[in-house]
């Protein structure tokens, strides 16, 4: 395959897929260890009503408004879940189940009731994104990477997800030690003076940020898969947090790259004519990686 074909059609979706996968996998490690893995699931459901409301209020597809709407919805969901948990004395899993299904249902109904026929916003798009459509039509080949005028035509999602990934990496680097200590022993962290509640809330907000940015580009199904599968697979490879994070990044990248290639070219290899959903395939590949580590990972058993 030549650069003239690869760069405009496949490079940007592949890049966005990788960035989104890593952005979700990084906070996913901590969520997994804190037994909050399903928060990613909940967040990716509740951003739908946020995005729809933002669209109805502004009347246009604007990235900033949608991000704000989605982030607001995520915060509303966290508040509702906590409220039901505390005041209703309901266990967190069930409280989460109530809130995210209801908010998702509300989002779907709003979407169906409002006239969004003219814009690119529908339930299917929200669920499994449209990674394949994020093409870079201004590019003509590898040379375009050096061409400022062509670079200006890059899909805006590239910049958005890069900024978010940079932000998440920076936050993790800065708060690494308190985050690690409070993840493994919250009581000990509190005695050291670590503000554990703030840190925990910060982690959820960071995850929401990753989910919203990735959701915008790749749809909710990759978001859930990348929050959980690469960190879970990495957890079965090592006992050390640093190594686990590194493994999860590697697994996320592998899922994104292999999944994208299999979705785009796999059907052609076995004689088909049309590509299949890249988002779905990336999630599938991450599942295969998890299965492999569950069968062969050196630390797959719990420490006795």
Partner 1 sequence: MFLEALFFQLGYNATLVTFGATLLGIAAGVTGSFLFFRKRALVSDAISHATLPGVALAFIVMVAFGFDGRNLPGLLIGSAISAALGLFAVQWLTSRTRLTEDAAIGAVLSVFFGFGIVLLTVVQTMSSGRQAGLEGFLLGSTAGMLYADAILIAGGGALALILVGVFRRPMMMASFDPEFARASGINLDRTDLIMMSLVMGVTVIGLKIVGLILIVALLIIPPVAARFWSDRADRVVLIAGALGGLSAWIGASASAVAPNLPTGPIIVLTAFGIFTASMLFAPARGLLISAINHRTFQRGVHIRQGLVSLAQGQPIYEPMTIRLLRAEGLARADGVPTPDGVARASRVLRDEKRWETARADPALEMAAARYDGLTQIEDVLTKDQIDELDARIGGPREVTQ
Summarize as ranges the residues that interact with partner 1 (CB under 8 A).
Answer: 32, 35-38, 40-41, 84, 87-91, 93-98, 101-102, 104-106, 108-109, 112-113, 123-124, 127-128, 221-222, 224-225, 227-229, 232, 235-236, 263, 267, 272-277, 279-284, 286-287, 290, 294, 297, 299-303
**Residues written for the chain:** 304
Q: How far is the CB of 153 from partner 1 (least distance, A)?
A: 27
For residues 139 and 247, which CB has a smaller minimum distance to partner 1 in the complex? 247
Q: How far is the CB of 26 from partner 1 (least distance, A)?
A: 16
Radius of gyration for the chain, computed over Cα atoms and rounded to the nearest angstrom: 20
Distance CA 302, CA 32 (A): 15
Residue 40: alpha-carbon gap to chain centroid:
8
Burial 21-56 (b: 16+ CB within 10 A, else e): bbbbbbbbbbbbbbebbbbbbbbbbbbbbbbbbbbe
For residues 94 and 170, which CB has a smaller minimum distance to partner 1 in the complex? 94
Distance CA 274, CA 265 (A): 9
Residues 6+ apart with CB under 8 A from 60: 119
For residues 150 and 226, which CB has a smaller minimum distance to partner 1 in the complex? 226
Q: How far is the CB of 84 from partner 1 (least distance, A)?
A: 7
Q: How far is the CB of 245 from partner 1 (least distance, A)?
A: 16
- Residue 33: both structure tokens together: 């260890």
Distance CA 140, CA 28 (A): 37
User: Which of 188, 194, 218, 298 lies closest to 20, judged by CA?
Assistant: 218
Q: How far is the CB of 154 from partner 1 (least distance, A)?
A: 26
Q: How far is the CB of 70 from partner 1 (least distance, A)?
A: 18
8 DSSP 8-state letter: I
Residues 6+ apart with CB under 8 A from 127: 219, 220, 221
Q: Looking up tokens 């760069």, which residue turns up?
A: 7
For residues 39 and 172, which CB has a smaller minimum distance to partner 1 in the complex? 39
Q: How far is the CB of 38 from partner 1 (least distance, A)?
A: 5
For residues 96 and 194, which CB has a smaller minimum distance to partner 1 in the complex? 96
User: What secondary structure does DSSP assign to 102-141, as a single string?
Assistant: HHHHHHHHHHHHS--TTSS--HHHHHH--GGG---TT--S
For residues 177 and 300, which CB has a smaller minimum distance to partner 1 in the complex? 300
Residues 6+ apart with CB under 8 A from 274: 267
Q: How far is the CB of 261 from partner 1 (least distance, A)?
A: 14
For residues 191 and 273, which CB has a smaller minimum distance to partner 1 in the complex? 273
For residues 89 and 120, which CB has a smaller minimum distance to partner 1 in the complex? 89
């Amino acid at each position: 395959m030549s650069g003239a074909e690869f760069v405009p059609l496949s490079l940007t979706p592949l890049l966005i897929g990788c960035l989104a996968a890593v952005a979700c996998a990084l906070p996913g490690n901590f969520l997994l260890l804190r037994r909050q893995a399903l928060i990613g699931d909940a967040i990716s459901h509740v951003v739908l009503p946020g995005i729809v409301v933002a669209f109805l209020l502004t009347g246009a597809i604007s990235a900033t408004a949608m991000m704000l709407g989605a982030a607001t919805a995520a915060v509303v969901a966290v508040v509702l879940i906590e409220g039901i948990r505390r005041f209703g004395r309901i266990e967190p899993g069930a409280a989460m189940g109530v809130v995210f299904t209801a908010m998702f249902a509300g989002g779907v109904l709003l979407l169906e009731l409002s006239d969004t026929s003219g814009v690119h916003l529908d339930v299917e798009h929200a669920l499994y994104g449209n990674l394949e459509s994020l093409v870079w039509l201004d590019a003509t080949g590898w040379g375009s990477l050096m061409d400022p005028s062509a670079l200006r035509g890059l899909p805006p999602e590239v910049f958005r997800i890069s900024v978010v990934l940079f932000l998440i990496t920076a936050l993790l680097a800065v708060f690494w030690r308190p985050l690690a200590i409070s993840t493994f022993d919250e009581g000990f962290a509190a005695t050291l003076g670590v503000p554990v509640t703030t840190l925990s809330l910060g982690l959820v907000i960071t995850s929401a940020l990753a989910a919203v940015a990735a959701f915008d580009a790749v749809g909710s199904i990759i978001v859930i898969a990348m929050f959980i599968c690469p960190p879970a697979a990495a957890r079965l490879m090592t006992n050390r947090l640093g190594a686990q994070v590194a493994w999860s990044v590697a697994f996320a990248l592998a899922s994104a790259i292999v999944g994208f290639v299999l979705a785009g070219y796999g059907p052609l290899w076995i004689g088909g004519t049309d590509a299949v959903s890249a988002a779905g395939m990336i999630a599938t590949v991450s599942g295969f990686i998890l299965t492999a580590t569950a069968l062969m990972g050196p630390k797959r058993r719990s420490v006795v």
